[in-house]
Amino acid sequence: MYKGTSASSGIGIGSAVIVEEAELVIKREAVTDTAAEVERFKGALDQTMKDTEVLAADLATRVGEKEAEIMQGHMMLLMDPMLTGEIENSITGEAICSEYAVEQVCQNYAMVFASMDDELMQQRATDMLDIKTRMQKVLLGVASVDISALPAGSILVAKDLTPSMTAGINPANVAGIVTELGGKTSHSAILARALEISAVVAVSDFLTKVKNGDTVVLDGSEGVVYVNPEQSVKEEYESKREKFLKEKKELEQYIGKPTVTKDGVHIELVANIGKPEDVEKVLQYDGEGVGLFRTEFLFMDRTSMPTEEEQFEAYKKVAEVLAGKPVIIRTLDIGGDKEIPYMGLQKDENPFLGYRAIRFCLDRKDDVYKPQLRALLRASAFGNIKIMIPLVTCIDEYREAKALIEELKAELDQAGIAYNKEIQVGVMVETAAASLIADIFAKEVDFFSIGTNDLTQYTMSVDRGNDKVSYLYSTFNPAVLRSIKRIITCAREAGIMVGMCGEAASDPMMIPLLLAFGLNEFSMSASAILRARKLITGYSTEELQAVADKAMSFATTKEVEDYMKTFAG
């Protein structure tokens, strides 16, 4: 078994087809008639443009406008007068052949893009190299590998797939994709998800492990790949595939349906996201908004903090795409298990009990918290943004953050910058202390979201990442259940919205209890939404009261879990 990064969910079983691009040999050849050479380049540019247009139109009809944008991006690059002008100047000035001029100029641009911090800009490097190769192939008369006509049941194996190659795939014939390079957010991975082909990327040295025709089994959700597995493994994955497809099909009927229980209680079913790009999935699975945007992901995998402007753009994008649906954005929650090297945080003896989340932010107002809050306020003019403060333990923390928000609002007023004056500010209830004083919080804050991942850890005094004590880590522990119930009751009594964004919100064994307790909003990974909608619409909150009473009467986690297993579905 080989491990990689899961890029597109689902199970793929089929025969390996290794896709290798012919290595182009680009030499620096001198030309005498530079004007004719410029014309030759223009002809190739024209042809590449036409080919790209066909790919874009094909993608737009076959997959969607959004996906076609990747190819339209290539067309913009090909039309960029800076780029084409530099290539022409290079041909004329250095009296070199078009192939070499294209090589030099495009490589330079790709290097600049690749060295940028922004992941999206880095992606432009792949796009630039893709158009470079395609222009050179036209110039050299080398045909591109045609992967549109592969036999059914092919598993594409490649070092990396260029976006244009992925766009040419016919999903009816391709059962899966495995690459040695790439990441979750590479354009090929995005396209694989859009085409709904299971894919695992970043499997190191995979090309040395597989030959054409080998049987390959991949699990795009788990990020694992098998080559010529034993019959029993193959059968296990065949039945997993059937189950996956059957459930997926069945759940599609819940798209566009309201999330209302049998006794008429409307529930908000929203998604957890980490990056602005994740909103596409929220729309795909018909999420009713975002219940948790973990902003720390904007701060990760880079060498310096995102600026206020970069954050503003990210928050604005989510708010705009969700067009008035609620978007709860959590302020920076770092420390504990989430490290950000450039923040200069020292290692805490007890990271989960230390200098993290709101504690850190209130200590770093000028360089960290104010720019984030200002970006959030400015973005609130473009949609229904709500601000959420993580890891509060006492009301003073909330008051201090709220005062800062008010101070920034006044500054924005003075500067004449738009923001939502009625913006809601809520807290994550995820510490034992916050749960115990939930009644006090409920009187001041606009909403609660229960973070069961941490609430369980802090209630049970058990490190959520430590295997040795994981037997104690259960949301079904009577102490945790009492805490959850109390938080919901306090919110309901004060008339504020109460949601849950910890993993428990999508647990089929927990959903009936949460409905009985009166939870208003369930936030989970987008792909879990339709299954949750199916479950919620099948229950009546009134009928569940007896279930909740019984669950609450048990003394041990095991008894609660055994009882709730009957609801596991």
- Active-site amino acid positions: 187, 501
Q: What mask of x and - would describe binding to Mg ion in positions 477 to 516, judged by CB under 5 A?
A: ----------------------------------------
Q: Decide which of Mg ion, ligand PEP, none touches 501; Cβ closer than 5 to 8 Å per partner kind.
A: ligand PEP
Residues 483-522: x/- map of binding to ligand PEP (CB under 6 A)? ------------------xx--------------------
Asked if 77 contacts 128 with a C-beta cutoff of 8 angstroms, the reply is yes
3-state secondary structure of 235: helix
For 46, other C-beta atoms within 10 Å of its C-beta total: 12
Instruction: Give the phi and the psi of residue 201 in degrees, each rounded to 5.
Output: -115, 170
Smaller CB distance to ligand PEP: residue 244 or 517? 517
Which of the ranges 88-96, 193-201, 283-291, 452-460 carries the binding residues for ligand PEP, by CB under 6 A? 452-460
285 by Cβ neighbours in 10 Å (0-12 / 13-18 / 19+) ranks as buried
CB nearer to Mg ion: give 163 or 336.
336
Q: How far is the CB of 502 from Mg ion (least distance, A)?
A: 7
Q: Which of residues 298-357 bind ligand PEP (CB under 6 A)?
A: 333
Distance between first and last Cα of the chain: 30
CA 482 to centroid of chain Cα atoms: 32
Q: By CB under 5 A, which span of 174-182, 250-258, 298-306, 428-436 interacts with Mg ion?
A: 428-436
Residues 6+ apart with CB under 8 A from 277: 185, 190
| Element at 291 (helix H, strand E) | strand 290-294
> In the complex with ligand PEP, which residue's Cβ is closer, 10 or 451?
451
Is residue 452 part of the contact set for ligand PEP (CB under 6 A)?
Answer: yes
CB of 454 to ligand PEP, least distance (A): 3
Q: Taking CA 290 as the corner, what is the angle to CA 240 and CA 243, rounded to the nearest 5 degrees?
A: 10
Nearer to ligand PEP among residue 207 and residue 340 (C-beta): 340
Cβ proximity to ligand PEP, 9 vs 449, nearer residue: 449
- The region of 66-74, 93-101, 108-116, 445-453 touching ligand PEP under the rule CB under 6 A is 445-453
The verdict on 453 binding ligand PEP (CB under 6 A) reads yes
400 vs 381, 414, 427, 434, 435, CA distance in Å? 23, 21, 13, 16, 19
The least CB distance from residue 389 to ligand PEP, in Å, is 12
The DSSP code for 422 is: T
Binding positions for ligand PEP, 413-442, rule CB under 6 A: 430
Taking the C-alpha atoms of residue 484 and residue 518, their distance in angstroms, rounded to an integer, is 11
Rounded Cα distance, 529 and 289, in Å: 11
Among residues 78 and 501, whose Cβ is nearest to Mg ion?
A: 501
Q: 399: closest CA among 445, 360, 433, 333?
A: 445
Of 300, 367, 369, 372, nearest to 340 by C-alpha is 300
Chain-centroid distance of CA 341 in Å reads 22
- Binds ligand PEP (CB under 6 A): choice among 134, 294, 325, 533: 294
Q: Tell me whether residue 353 or residue 418 sits nearer to Mg ion (CB atom).
A: 353
Kindly state the smallest distance separating residue 313's Cβ from ligand PEP, in Å. 23
Give φ, ψ of 417 to 5 degrees: -100, 135
Write down the least CB distance from residue 435 to Mg ion, Å: 13
Q: Whole-number minimum distance, CB 448 to ligand PEP, in Å?
A: 12
Residue 502: contacted member of ligand PEP, Mg ion, none (CB under 5 to 8 Å, by partner type): ligand PEP
CA nearest neighbour of 480 among 500, 496, 497: 500
Tell me whether residue 189 or residue 392 sits nearer to ligand PEP (CB atom): 392
Contact set for ligand PEP, span 29-88 (CB under 6 A): none
Q: Rounded to the nearest 10 degrees, how much is the dihedral formed by the CA atoms of 461, 449, 306, 302?
A: 40
The whole-angstrom separation of Cα 91 and Cα 40 is 11
Considering only 67, 296, 454, 507, the residue that binds Mg ion (CB under 5 A) is: 454
Other beta carbons within 10 angstroms of residue 434's beta carbon come to 28
Distance CA 178, CA 182 (A): 10
What are the DSSP E strand ranges found in 239-289? Answer: 268-273
**Of the candidates 4, 451, 499, 512, which one interacts with Mg ion according to CB under 5 A?**
451
Contact (Cβ atoms closer than 8 angstroms) between residue 312 and residue 379: yes
Using CB under 6 A, which of 103, 268, 397, 454 touches ligand PEP? Answer: 454
Q: Is the dihedral of CA 357, 381, 495, 396 positive or negative?
A: positive
Which of ligand PEP, Mg ion, none does 126 bind, CB closer than 5 to 8 A by kind? Answer: none
The verdict on 359 binding ligand PEP (CB under 6 A) reads no
- Which CB sits closer to ligand PEP, 453 or 489? 453
Q: Which residue has the tokens 């290794």?
A: 18
Interatomic CA distance for residues 544 and 566, integer angstroms: 13
User: In whole angstroms, how close is the CB of 330 to Mg ion at the nearest point?
Assistant: 9
- The Cα–Cα gap between 182 and 355 comes to 35
- Minimum gap (Å) between residue 270 Cβ and ligand PEP: 13
Q: Which residue in the shown chain puts its C-beta closest to Mg ion?
A: 454
Closest distance of CB 354 from ligand PEP, Å: 14
Instruction: Identify what 180 binds: ligand PEP, Mg ion, none; CB under 5 to 8 Å per kind.
Output: none
- Residue 452 binds which one of ligand PEP, Mg ion, none, with CB within 5 to 8 A depending on kind? ligand PEP
Footprint of ligand PEP on this chain (CB under 6 A)?
292, 294, 333, 430, 451-454, 501-502
Footprint of Mg ion (CB under 5 A): 430, 451, 454
